Amino acid sequence: MLITAILIFPVQFLSLFRNYPSSPACGRVINIFSNLNVLINCDSALFMKDAQNPMRIFGGLSVYQDRPAHSILVWLIGSLLRFLGFPNQSRDIVGTSGQTTTYESIFYLSYIALNFIIVFVAVMLATKFVFGDFTFGSLTRTKTLFIIVLLIVSANELTKTFFWTPHSQMFNILLPTIALIMLKNRKNIKSIKVFVLLSFLTLLLMFFYPLFGLLFIILLFTQSGDFVKRLLTISIFTTTYLLYPMVLEFFGGTHRNYVVEEYRQYVWLLDSIRDKNLIENLGTNLELFASTFPLIPTILLFASATLLTVILRKSNAQISKKTTSDLMPYLLFFVIYIGALSMMGYYSRRLTLGPYIFIELAFIRFLLPILAERYRASNRILMTLLLGLLLGSWVWTNGPLS
């Protein structure tokens, strides 16, 4: 754990010295001192306002009422730090809209601390998933750990763009790693108490980021009780989230669903059916979704799949039926993950990177041992090249994502 934390922090610290575009599409580059800069995303002001005044969430002023737990947790941490006398400074930042927002350091740093925790947990879960029951040599294990850290921490534009800014997009790194661990341990979830606990935790995570609701799909196919009971339990928890706006208004609050109002997320399907242009809109939206696929991870995945195919054909080897059976749940969840994003109606590369992290880690977990057993020398060379590619991606991919 200590090694992982030591690996994560320097990578993010070095990113403070990176060169940002002079006019980011969505954000402001803020100079801390000397050559240290951070990119403040254009939506970060909204998260800061919510954390500094959580009544915005209940009064309908926040556009992120669908994920209230994130800002409320930061408010609790920041308020505790203020009570304990933690030094607090304020800085006015002019956003892309021209409006000025005051950033209090105790709340800003609380967001950054949560970002670090998210990355740390994601790397730990990914490491636990990848290493699993396989035995790696010390050199291979070290390289694999570096690859995992680079994949999650630095070699994707999502972390590079959102680590140093208040935002909920960092959860797109945590979601795929939690899903992988749950898929790996799905057969061990037999107790109804454990099932209910995991359902409750999934519901809690939805209040941080609604897309965590995809984890209910995995819970539906565990070994706890019969299928009908699992479906009923999950339905109760998902309904609880859906009833949240009504509960909020019952207690005098105001709720508005910004993502539906502004982007018609998922509702666009009903709009299209009503307007009788579903096929046309499906084509347009799928084209927009396809345009968000990141270039380097896509090349990496195709190259890995091609390499594996060539190796298996040359060695006349086949993937065992057990391995194929083990892979099917992962493939099914990946398809559902991609399907949920493709039907969202709002498309961004920052969302698509989650499924890529999922499939890349699954490749390493299931296919790296095959290569290691048959081609040890080539495997070392390939892993070294992969490390170089990921490091190059971190250095030359400036981003930022919008």
Structure token digits, residue 383: 């892993």
pLDDT at residue 236, rounded to an integer = 95
Q: Which burial class, exposed, middle or buried, applies to 177 when counting CB atoms under 10 A from its CB (0-12, 13-18, 19+)?
A: buried
**Total-model pTM:** 0.88
Structure token digits, residue 238: 């998902």
d(CA 123, CA 120): 5
pLDDT tens for the chain, residues 1 to 402: 556 666 666 667 766 766 666 677 777 888 777 667 788 888 899 999 999 999 999 888 898 999 999 999 999 999 999 999 999 999 888 877 778 889 999 999 999 999 989 988 988 888 888 877 555 555 456 666 666 666 665 556 778 788 889 999 999 999 999 999 999 999 898 888 999 999 999 999 999 999 999 999 999 989 888 889 999 999 999 999 999 999 999 888 888 888 888 888 889 999 899 988 989 999 999 999 998 887 766 777 777 677 666 766 665 555 566 666 777 889 999 999 999 999 999 888 888 888 988 988 888 787 766 665 555 555 566 666 666 666 666 655 555 454
pLDDT at residue 133, rounded to an integer = 57
Phi, psi for 93 (deg, rounded to 5): -125, 125
**Core vs surface per residue 278-307: b (16+ CB within 10 A) or e:** eeebeeebeeebeebebebbeebeeebeee
Neighbours of 27 (CB within 10 A): 25
**What radius of gyration, in Å, describes the C-alpha atoms of the chain?**
22
Domain boundaries, the chain: 2-396
